[in-house]
Structure 1
């Protein structure tokens, strides 16, 4: 038995190694990493028999919580607050229209009932947060479009889950009560949003006031709060996925203790969960069964990419100010990923007659979407002229005060704006509280060691060692706008 356990642990380690190296390989090729992870699972399928749809669904749900939480932490509110209307429209009406169009096609192509066709449409109707965050994260695309796509992918899972579960219930026990379904939808979305905000505020307060003995416990606390948010809201029969994303966006845009540790931990954890989830999904499918539905899968993939998704986008964005090229890019960048495959396990778990057929075709659709759309994002962006103004750069440096015990000080990060009152001043001229120390200045890609005569410029990022009770005072001093600059801008 000990040898058997050691073999399993060794396989686990090898999977993580493969995941890390294939992620690097996929970035160079411009393909979503999920393609390689799934292929690894399909190769292992020849040596390891695995057909537990329930366990896959459970682990996939946990993985989605982690991925949505990490995506929310990385989402800047300043970017999405200007695009929330088109994003919400895409996440609701867009998913519904896509579901109807591709569901009607699936009814005839797969030879299934209307309800089963709509169920398939609901399963593949949403975009995937992991795929979108992963592919767009390092691409030079207009910020407006990436913000819309990321916000949509983070908020359209609840709609897809709602439609999937509702349609399965209608298939098992046919009874159509439109007012009941409408009330249920409003409850799930509304309560998910409300609880996400409330639990987000609670999580911020807990993280900033709990004062743990080790800084390494803060990332663990953050993921515990995310899982608690999902489970609590789901028990209330509301949308736990929406609540997690909203809660994560609030955390990501708040002033958090040990923020860098929390973000770094969850980024790595999300990658690990992606690797395990996609490998498991690859284990659940049998290549021979995919070949049996090849032509149906190709037909539905083409229709989804070129017909259903564009119709959903153009209908849901009919009142937006986006131009045709921008809408076409949003249509093409609606990547499919783990969410459709995990939703496809629901009919399997419920034992629907055509559950295996829908799972196999969904798998085919997702794989083709990732291969075709994921690999062509950059060329399509160039063709449609929706590229960003400059190369997307990640901050080259980050600092944080790491403590093995309790501390009354921390390092905060502040970026100086053009109209800040301290812009073009020397550090020695700043009226900072005593025992406050500017430890580093990041200017572009340079790390500058500060001294009294260092002049602060717009876009400089300051790392400041400050007492916790003086943190807000320091921020107010540095971030206060210069009234003269304001008047000049108004003129």
Structure 2
């Protein structure tokens, strides 16, 4: 009881620590598990571990817990896969997931065989396990580095798609290990099992997705039970599929998640949020349990050859896979080099490695002594690879990106806090100007209307602590808080100011601020501090035209602005190169050939004491 509760508490603490130090959670989780497990034997009186996964879950129970946990994690990952978003870089990502995966698999196998001395079977399995990356380790790195849009998209989608693909390939490799009765039998047998596994996984996963879709669409499940019923269905699908066809459960739940993610289900966001919470708990407990199972002798037994293996994986195999995969792409050499450097291993690699390690060691009587000994080294070797890639690449990514010059110079995207009619129409205008926009709201009605307009949305609480991990803000450079609730707007700016800078976060004035004439308006008040949310609703409730006035060489722009200031609401300034500046309380200087984007509004009581002489 004490060990289990301690693991849960320490797991959540490790998650918090990861958020605090801005590193992927996998690193403190594994290090905490190693500290409680093998490393603790150096300090305890009897040389026993403080915590051991084998003592908490014995035999079949541990195997079942690991299996189900991996299934839930993969289902949650599948829920994040929106096929529409992959179309822009489909060719490159396809090559990375085919050519790149094949090179990594073969390269990892040969490296483990020749450099570390593993037998061919376990080397084959190790090569499959190091294929995967994972969004939980890539997302924090991308947010910190802010690479160019092409790099960001490729790395993000590689990480999301390669998890289920890598897990499936690992299943194939595992089948090869356990079914290879003779040199002549294993190829046909493993291929047959692989095809049957795919067929069973796709069939059961698709059927389960359609069933759950029907239940949700027809409101057959009460709202308060939707999340737990979904979780129960996922676990059932995993168990049934795995029972009918060994190792097909992982594919079934992944397919189920992908299908659900691409169907229009209003309830999906709440289910996804719940699954994220469940995945955090499972991941926290899982990694502490699995890393605590490693023996100190296994860590010390890795030796210098494991370092050479790690370096070959990072410095040779990863670059080869990327450069061969991007031969015909529009990426330049520096972009390819940076993508080659970023390939950290994540949750699925560790979880699947642990799963197969447990299974292999449990069936040790059916394999040779060398294979059994190699299987003992599989888990520590994979964990070493994970820790090494996360530490090395996570710590150096920003320096490498700066050196290569692949950091995004200016993030032009705009995050709208609130998806009201006002925000939707402004966002649509900016989208038509080729700016990326995201509208965040908790109102399903507002988001439904935004989706109808083709706008990208986020449903949920934008003030959540983990918001930077659950929404991709890598292309966002400015925040516009436009909800009717002034407290939410103020809190949103406080949250995002450290990320984007005080000059890039804005909010609409509150009704009270606009009514007090002598009150100095905040610097970040949107649109010249000339309208509150209710005034804006009045304007945008009708047909609204976004008007333009360019500062031309005739020199009449300043006179026009002074004459019309009481009749307009200034929104943005469009620069010569097509960038947009958001107008706050003080309208910035509008340079030659720059354009003011504004609305006509002749309500006299919204006068503002803005200095129209640009501070000269």
TM range (shorter): 0.7 to 0.9
Q: CA deviation at 1:370?
A: 1.9
Larger deviation, residues 361-370 vs 332-341: 332-341
Q: CA deviation at 1:114?
A: 2.9
Q: Secondary structure at the match of 2:318?
A: helix
**1:170-209 counterparts in 2 under 5 A?**
170=180, 173-176=182-185, 178-189=187-198, 192-193=201-202, 195-209=204-218
**1:273-352 counterparts in 2 under 5 A?**
273-341=282-350, 342-344=352-354, 345=357, 346-351=359-364, 352=372
Larger deviation, residues 62-71 vs 177-186: 177-186
Aligned-partner Cα distance in 2 for 1:228–1:86? 36
Aligned-partner Cα distance in 1 for 2:308–2:94? 29
Q: Secondary structure at the match of 1:335?
A: coil
Q: 1:26 to 1:304 in 2, by over 3 A?
A: same
Aligned-partner Cα distance in 1 for 2:268–2:319? 39
Q: CA deviation at 1:264?
A: 1.7
Which residue pairs with 1:18 in the alignment? 10
Match for 2:153 among 134, 144, 164? Answer: 144
Q: 1:60 to 1:319 in 2, by over 3 A?
A: farther
Aligned-partner Cα distance in 2 for 1:227–1:137? 32
Which residue pairs with 1:265 in the alignment? 274
Q: 1:118 to 1:394 in 2, by over 3 A?
A: farther
Which residue pairs with 2:231 in the alignment? 223
Which residue pairs with 1:158 in the alignment? 168
Q: CA deviation at 1:179?
A: 4.7
Q: Secondary structure at the match of 2:448?
A: strand
Q: CA deviation at 1:393?
A: 8.1
Q: CA deviation at 1:187?
A: 4.2
Which residue pairs with 1:249 in the alignment? 258
Q: Which has the larger radius of gyration?
A: 2
| 1:55-90 deviation per Cα after TM superposition (whole angstroms, max 9, x unaligned) | 544323222222222222233332124445544543
Q: Secondary structure at the match of 1:31?
A: coil
Which residue pairs with 2:472 in the alignment? none
Relative contact order (C-alpha < 8 Å, sep 6+): which is higher?
1
Q: CA deviation at 1:283?
A: 0.9
Q: CA deviation at 1:174?
A: 4.0
Aligned-partner Cα distance in 1 for 2:70–2:196? 22
Q: Secondary structure at the match of 1:444?
A: strand
Q: CA deviation at 1:257?
A: 4.1
Larger deviation, residues 263-272 vs 281-290: 281-290
Q: Is the 8 A contact 1:329 1:384 kept in 2?
A: yes
Q: CA deviation at 1:158?
A: 0.8
Q: Is the 8 A contact 1:161 1:343 kept in 2?
A: no
Which residue pairs with 1:360 in the alignment? 380
Aligned-partner Cα distance in 1 for 2:69–2:454? 42
Answer yes or no: is 1:211 the counterpart of 2:220: yes
Q: Is the 8 A contact 2:116 2:309 kept in 1?
A: no
| 1:295-344 deviation per Cα after TM superposition (whole angstroms, max 9, x unaligned) | 12211111111112222333344454444444433333322133333325
Answer yes or no: is 1:398 the counterpart of 2:441: yes
What is the root-mean-square deviation of aligned Cα atoms in Å? 3.5
Q: Is the 8 A contact 1:204 1:256 kept in 2?
A: yes
Q: Secondary structure at the match of 1:269?
A: helix
Aligned-partner Cα distance in 2 for 1:97–1:90? 10
Q: 1:166 to 1:350 in 2, by over 3 A?
A: same
Q: 1:207 to 1:419 in 2, by over 3 A?
A: closer
Match for 1:99 among 102, 105, 129? Answer: 105
Q: 1:267 to 1:400 in 2, by over 3 A?
A: farther
**1:34-73 counterparts in 2 under 5 A?**
34-45=26-37, 46=40, 47-51=50-54, 55-73=61-79
Gaps of 5+ in 1: 402-409, 421-442, 459-491
Q: 1:260 to 1:363 in 2, by over 3 A?
A: closer
Which residue pairs with 1:414 in the alignment? 449
Q: CA deviation at 1:204?
A: 1.7
Q: Secondary structure at the match of 2:184?
A: coil
With normalisation by structure 2, the TM-score equals 0.59
Gaps of 5+ in 2: 41-49, 365-371, 418-439, 456-478, 486-532, 545-616
Aligned-partner Cα distance in 1 for 2:177–2:284? 30
Q: CA deviation at 1:237?
A: 5.2
Q: CA deviation at 1:241?
A: 2.8
Q: 1:240 to 1:135 in 2, by over 3 A?
A: farther
| 1:221-256 deviation per Cα after TM superposition (whole angstroms, max 9, x unaligned) | 222333333334443457433332332233234332
Larger deviation, residues 276-285 vs 80-89: 80-89
Q: Is the 8 A contact 2:52 2:292 kept in 1?
A: yes
| 1:388-414 deviation per Cα after TM superposition (whole angstroms, max 9, x unaligned) | 55288887553258xxxxxxxx88633
Aligned-partner Cα distance in 1 for 2:59–2:101? 25
Q: Is the 8 A contact 1:63 1:274 kept in 2?
A: yes
Answer yes or no: is 1:455 the counterpart of 2:540: yes
Q: 1:247 to 1:50 in 2, by over 3 A?
A: closer
Q: CA deviation at 1:271?
A: 0.7
Q: Secondary structure at the match of 2:483?
A: strand
Q: Is the 8 A contact 1:91 1:156 kept in 2?
A: no
